[in-house]
Amino acid sequence: MSTIKRLERLTGDVKTERKEPFKKGVIGDLRRRIEAVMDRRHVTSQKPFLLHGKPLSLETLIRGEEVENDQGKFFVAHDFIPGSYHHGIRHLRMISNINMQALSLLANQPELNDLHYTDALFLDTETTGLSGGTGTLPFLIGMGWFEGEAFIIRQIFVRDFTEERASLTFFLEVAKTKRFLVTFNGKAFDVGLIAARLIMNRLHDSLSCLPHLDLLHPSRRLLGHRTDNSRLGTLEGVILGIRREGDIPGSEIPRRYFDWLKSRDARFVADVFEHNRLDVLSMVSLTMHLAEMLNDQRIIDCPEPQDLMAASKLLIDRGRIPDARCLLESLIDSDNATVARESRKTLSLIYKRAGLWDKAIDIWELMIADEPGNVFAVEELAKWYEHRKRDFKKAQNLVHRALSFSRHMSDAERESLHHRLNRIQLRIDF
């Protein structure tokens, strides 16, 4: 692809293919496009992070050391966090009670059910950009794992582009000791990016084949109703009770790394290390919270009715109908009217498919008693009387009564009831 076409993609100014020869006018157009790109970068850039005085070394600000292997040298930061550490509303030692079956349901990967929480590698990267292309470097790879109740964090820092192969080699040595990954949006970004860099460095990609719990997807399903978005920072504040003070914005992180490359001043990247460390820790707390929403203690640990309703839907999708049924049975009398209505509807259909007609009828009658114009319950009960009991008059009376509340219905609901009524009338006339 030509330079002009690449610039057209960058600027969004894609024109029809040029057929004229390469002339001075084309060179001038190319210069204008380059200037447009640079101007756009200037407008969107943030206020520079200015430092004064003598540059500080990494060892001065960050607990870590230079490490060397047969591929070269790099820097590794390390942290040991005891199980008593409180990260938001969770103690880290609570991980020892985690239900691995719940993790397998969250990830939709049954193989996790036979593993242990100490087999997990929590992974998060900081990169030179968000595009994820081959030019994007994961310059900081944050890893965390449990040894007993204690949590170990290692952060591999690529101090210069020449250190990438050595850093990735070290990363693989750690990763091969673990049996599954936990990330946040790692399926779409972190894991694919690292895999690409491994291939570019002619190293074996042993990462992509590992079972993978990407917390973003179950977070959207189970907690999306409580948040405006599903960013990790949002979930920290709304769900996990975590407040970061002075945290660096993610959009500023690439520039800080380039400033480090020019200055070798650790003050540019110290905040990046802390940001990454907190991301890894928050993934642990979030993993525990999501797992508890699906385990046997969920009613105690997760009092939000809408959370429980979301959990029941995930259980149904995963084929865990008995678990979903148990959960829904606890919600049919919820003070939250929306949850009560939705749980009754879903539970009645579970009973219906299982042939538990008496239980299904009890719920439909309960729904009609609370809401005489409930179209779903009226139709289901009318179908029962029509097809199972062959009591056409009873079915007809149910629909007639519901239509007296039609002012509260949508056009589609009224039309559906009239269709049902016509069917019943045909059977009576026949």
> Tens digit of pLDDT for each residue in 108-141?
999 999 999 999 999 999 999 876 566 899 999 9
What mean pLDDT comes out for the span 385-404? 92
Coil, strand or helix at 111? helix
pLDDT of residue 208: 87
Written as six digits, the tokens of 134 are 């081959």
Q: So what's the pLDDT on residue 89?
A: 87
pLDDT score for 33: 54
Q: Looking at the structure, tell me whether residues 264 and 195 fall in a common domain.
A: yes
Looking at the DSSP bridge assignments, the partners of residue 181 are 121, 212
User: Residue 19: which pLDDT band, with cuts at 50, 70 and 90?
Assistant: very low
pLDDT of residue 130: 73
65 assigned to some structural domain: yes
Query: Which residues have C-beta within 8 Å of that of residue 428, sequence separation ≥ 6?
Result: 392, 393, 396
Same domain (yes/no): 213, 250 = yes
Quick: pLDDT tens for 169-189.
999 999 999 999 999 999 999
Q: How many residues does the structure list for the chain?
A: 430
Same domain, 78 and 151: yes
Whether residue 95 is found in the same domain as residue 139: yes
| 394 and 369 within one domain | yes
CATH code for the domain of 203 = 3.30.420.10
| Model confidence band, residue 377 (pLDDT cutoffs 50, 70, 90) | very high
Question: What CATH number does the domain containing 400 carry?
Answer: 1.25.40
Residue 312 has pLDDT above 50, yes or no: yes
Q: Say if 73 falls within a structural domain.
A: yes
pLDDT (tens digit, 9 = 90+) per residue, 59-111? 999 999 999 999 999 999 999 999 999 898 888 999 989 999 999 999 999 99
Answer yes or no: do 259 and 362 share one domain: no
Asked if 310 contacts 220 with a C-beta cutoff of 8 angstroms, the reply is no
Q: Is residue 53 part of a domain?
A: no
pLDDT at position 414 over 70: yes
The answer as to whether 312 is a domain residue is: no
pLDDT in tens, 150-168: 999 999 999 999 999 999 9
9 and 62 both lie in a single domain: no
Q: What is the separation, in whole angstroms, between the first and last Cα of the chain?
A: 74
What amino acid occupies position 198? Answer: L
- Out of 246, 262, 292, a domain closes at 292
Residue 271 lies in a domain: yes
**Do both 29 and 167 map to the same domain?**
no
Asked, for residue 398, whether it belongs to a domain, the answer is: yes
Count of structural domains within the chain: 3
Let me know whether 419 and 277 are in one domain: no
Confirm whether 323 is domain-assigned.
no
Q: What is the pLDDT of residues 329-360, one digit of tens each?
A: 999 999 999 999 999 999 999 999 999 999 99
Strand 72-81: give its sheet, edge to edge. 64-69, 72-81, 150-157, 138-147, 120-127, 180-183, 212-214
What is the predicted pLDDT for the residue at 427?
85
Q: For residues 382 and 363, what is the distance between their CA atoms, to the nearest angstrom? A: 14
- Going by C-alpha positions, the residue among 110, 154, 148, 122 that lies closest to residue 232 is 122
pLDDT at 428: 85
Domain end marker among 269, 292, 315: 292
Confidence class for position 20, pLDDT limits 50, 70, 90: very low
Is residue 316 assigned to a domain?
no
**Percent of the chain that is helix, strand, coil (3-state, to 5):** 60, 10, 30
Last residue of a domain, one of 276, 292, 308: 292
The listed range with the strongest mean pLDDT (4-13, 210-219, 243-252) is: 210-219
Using an 8 Å Cβ cutoff, are 176 and 167 in contact? no
62 and 14 in one domain? no
Residue 302 has pLDDT above 80, yes or no: no
Residue 49 banded pLDDT, cuts 50, 70, 90: low
Strands 212-214, 180-183: pairing is parallel
Share of the chain above pLDDT 70, in %: 85
Q: Residue 209 belongs to what domain range?
A: 58-292
Question: pLDDT per residue over 254-294, tens digit each?
Answer: 999 999 999 999 999 999 999 999 999 999 999 999 999 98
- Predicted pLDDT at 304: 84
pLDDT classification of 384: cutoffs 50, 70, 90: very high
pLDDT in tens, 189-244: 999 999 999 999 999 998 989 999 999 999 999 999 999 999 999 999 999 999 99
Residues 405 and 267 in one domain: no
Q: Do 17 and 78 fall within a single domain? A: no
